[in-house]
Amino acid sequence: MATFRKQGNSWQAQVRKKGEHPISKSFRLKSEALTWAHTVESELDRGIYINYSIAEYTTLEAVIQRYKTEV
């Protein structure tokens, strides 16, 4: 189930499902938040949701450093 709240000039959408961690993201428009939440809920129901939140904040430098230490 998705919930929406206004935070300053943006909208935060949060999708919660039993047995899963809450997933949230902020958007400039409420319509964008609604679309995103609907998509995430659908993917969770079908079991195909992939959480990219860690990848969105990983820099190329961090990836190269990890590669050097692991390979």
Interval 20-65: pLDDT, tens: 889 999 999 999 999 999 999 999 999 999 888 888 889 999 999 9
**Contacts for 9 with CB less than 8 Å, ≥ 6 apart:** 28
Mean per-residue pLDDT, 11-22: 93
Q: What is the pLDDT of residue 62?
A: 93
Q: What is the pLDDT of residue 53?
A: 81
Q: What is the pLDDT of residue 2?
A: 96
Token pair recorded at residue 55: 């990848």
Structural domain of residue 34, as residue ranges? Answer: 2-70
Q: Could you tell me which residue, 30 or 1, shows the higher pLDDT?
A: 30
The full length of the chain comes to 71
Q: What is the pLDDT of residue 37?
A: 97
Tally the domains of the chain. 1
